[in-house]
Amino acid sequence: MPNIQQTSKDRSTIIFDAEIFAAPDLTIFDSQHWQSQQQITGSATGRGTTYFFTHANNEYVLRHYRRGGLIGKVIKDQYVFRGVTRTRPWREFKLLGHMHSLGLPVPEPVAAQVTRLGVMYRGDIIIKRIANSQDVFSHLCQGPLTNETWHAIGACIRQFHDHNVYHHDLNIHNVMLDKNGKIWLIDFDKCAIHASNNWKQANVKRLLRSLHKEQDKQSAFHFNEKDWQTLMSGYGE
């Protein structure tokens, strides 16, 4: 069971699982710290660089919060501070913990930090890496998925929607498939619990748009409308 604790020093506040990090400081959110111990196992590039590292025989993901869009070109990684519990790292950490307690297929949150910079803040999060997994986008670039997998993707999304979990960025890069055929969702920044049902169909259609977008961009992308029908059958329609 997670042992979630909180500590503050100077301008920084850390929330963490004491079963994994007994007495953490800000060094655990510094990729150079893990690099110096030769524990970096890889990285991925999006808005910024996400690092993968090992600690106590497990693999973890370290992500720094960065802005996208036009504002991200001016203010790359700072956000207006309105209290620790309203920051993006805090909200994602708490939401992941809630979903994990419900048994939803999400990465386990390990630690998050917020550092105040006057009226602004910067933040980071560490989560447990999903073992032996790859995003569905990469799979589709390599070859077709089985009907069982498409059905499982739809059933997975329905599972989240039944718990009223709104995924702000439901695209094919944030759907993971592990070696056992299990589907996971990742990247819950700006996500939340929404009690109403009026957003759910639009959320599913967002995933369809991302599939069509990649289909137009990639020279090899194994997706067709029958696949989508199978996904929607898994979703329950």
187-200: pLDDT as tens digits: 999 999 999 899 99
Assess whether 147 and 227 both reside in one domain: yes
Q: How many Cβ atoms are within 10 Å of 211's Cβ, its own excluded?
A: 21
Assess whether 100 and 176 both reside in one domain: no
Q: Of the candidates 80, 103, 128, which is a domain's last residue? A: 128
What is the percent of the chain with per-residue pLDDT over 90, rounded to a whole number? 91
Assess whether 148 and 226 both reside in one domain: yes
pLDDT at 34 over 80: yes
pLDDT at 47 over 60: yes
Assess whether 97 and 167 both reside in one domain: no
- Chain center to CA of 69: 19
**169 included as an active-site residue:** yes
Assess whether 158 and 219 both reside in one domain: yes
* Cβ pair 185, 129 in contact under 8 A: no
Assess whether 68 and 83 both reside in one domain: yes
Q: Of the candidates 128, 159, 180, which is a domain's last residue? A: 128
Q: Of the candidates 77, 104, 128, which is a domain's last residue? A: 128
Q: Which domain holds residue 193?
A: 133-235
* Total tally of structural domains belonging to the chain: 2
Assess whether 12 and 120 both reside in one domain: yes
pLDDT at 73 over 90: no
How high is the pLDDT of residue 69? Answer: 64
Which CATH number covers residue 12? 3.30.200
How high is the pLDDT of residue 74? Answer: 67
How high is the pLDDT of residue 71? Answer: 64
Candidate list 25, 77, 169, 178, residue with the active-site label: 169
Assess whether 123 and 183 both reside in one domain: no
* Cβ pair 97, 103 in contact under 8 A: no
Q: Which of 36, 82, 45, 40 is nearest to 66 (CA)?
A: 45
Separation between Cα atoms, residue 12 and residue 108, nearest integer Å: 22
* Cβ pair 54, 41 in contact under 8 A: yes
Residue 174, token pair as written in the block: 């944030």
Within 13 Å, how many C-alpha atoms sit on residue 68's CB side? 5
